[in-house]
Structure 1
Amino acid sequence: MFDFLKKKTEVIIEVETVVETPKDFTNSIGMEFVYIDGGEFTMGRNPQHNEGGDVESPHHSVTLGGFWIAKYPVTQEQYFKLTRVNPSYFKNDKVEEESSRRHPVEQVSWFDAKAFVELLNRYEGKSRLYALPTESQWEYVVKAGGNTRFTFGDSEALLDDYAIYEYSSNGRTGVVGGKTPNRLGIYDLIGNVWEWCEDDFFANYIGAPIDGSPRIGGSEGESFKVRRGGSYKTGYMCLRSSFRGYSRPDFVSNDLGFRLVINGNPLQ
Structure 2
Amino acid sequence: MIDVLINRAAVHEGMHNYPAALADYNKALEIEPNYWLTHNNLAFLYAGCLGDEFRNGSLALKHAQKALDLLPTKYWINYSAMAAAYAEKGEFDKAIEMQKKARDDAPSSHKLKTIYRLKMYRDEKPYRRDGVKKESVNSIGMKFQRIPEGKFQMGASFQTKKNNEKPVHQVILTKPFEMGIYEVTQQQYEKVIGTNPSEFKGPKNPVESVSWNDAVEFCLKLSEMPDEKGFSYRLPTEAEWEYACRAGTTTKFSFGDDDSQLGDYGWYFKNSHSRTHPAGEKKPNSFGLYDMHGNVFEWCQDWFDVYQSGEITNPIQTQGRMKYRVIRGGGITNIASYCFSSARHNLAPDLSNSRLGFRVVRSSN
Whether these two folds match at TM > 0.5 is: yes
| Counterparts of 1:198 and 1:216, CA distance in 2 | 9
- Higher helix residue share: 2
| Counterparts of 2:253 and 2:216, CA distance in 1 | 28
Counterpart of 2:150 in structure 1: which amino acid?
G
Deviations 1:43-69 (A, max 9, x none): 011x2x333554211111111120000
Structure-1-length-normalised TM-score: 0.84
- Are 1:72 and 2:160 an aligned pair? no
Identity percentage over the alignment?
A: 40
| Counterparts of 2:310 and 2:228, CA distance in 1 | 32
**Which residue is equivalent to 1:156?**
259
Q: CA deviation at 1:84?
A: 1.1
Deviations 1:78-126 (A, max 9, x none): 00011110000011xxxxxxxx100000000000000000000000454
- Are 1:117 and 2:219 an aligned pair? yes
Q: CA deviation at 1:129?
A: 2.0
**Which residue is equivalent to 1:55?**
164
Match of 1:89 among 181, 188, 199: 199
Counterpart of 1:111 in structure 2: which amino acid?
N
**Which residue is equivalent to 2:144?**
33
| Counterparts of 1:89 and 1:181, CA distance in 2 | 25
Deviations 1:195-242 (A, max 9, x none): 00000001x212798222421125x05x20000001001010100111
Counterpart of 2:151 in structure 1: which amino acid?
E
- Say if 1:120 and 1:257 are closer, same or farther in 2 by CA, change over 3 A: same
Structure 2, unmatched stretches of 5+, are 1-99, 104-110, 115-130
| Counterparts of 1:155 and 1:198, CA distance in 2 | 29
| Counterparts of 1:17 and 1:144, CA distance in 2 | 33
- Contact 1:180/1:187 (<8 A) preserved: yes
- Contact 1:52/1:243 (<8 A) preserved: no
Match of 1:44 among 139, 143, 155: 155
| Bigger Cα displacement from structure 2, 188-197 vs 49-58 | 49-58
| Counterparts of 1:31 and 1:212, CA distance in 2 | 25
- Say if 1:21 and 1:157 are closer, same or farther in 2 by CA, change over 3 A: closer
The correspondence of residues 158-173 of structure 1 with structure 2, limited to 5 A, is: 158-173=261-276
- Are 1:259 and 2:362 an aligned pair? no
| Counterparts of 1:40 and 1:174, CA distance in 2 | 33
- Say if 1:207 and 1:129 are closer, same or farther in 2 by CA, change over 3 A: farther
| Counterparts of 2:333 and 2:276, CA distance in 1 | 9
- Contact 2:223/2:231 (<8 A) preserved: yes
Structure-2-length-normalised TM-score: 0.62
RMSD across aligned positions (CA): 2.1
Counterpart of 1:82 in structure 2: which amino acid?
V
Structure 1, unmatched stretches of 5+, are 1-12, 92-99
- Are 1:135 and 2:238 an aligned pair? yes
Q: Which has the higher contact order (CA 8 A, sep 6+)?
A: 1
- Are 1:217 and 2:351 an aligned pair? no
**Which residue is equivalent to 1:205?**
307
Q: CA deviation at 1:162?
A: 0.6
| Counterparts of 1:238 and 1:50, CA distance in 2 | 13
Count of residue correspondences:
240
**Which residue is equivalent to 2:277?**
174
Match of 1:195 among 298, 317, 320: 298
Counterpart of 2:219 in structure 1: which amino acid?
V
Counterpart of 1:182 in structure 2: which amino acid?
N
Q: CA deviation at 1:260?
A: 0.3
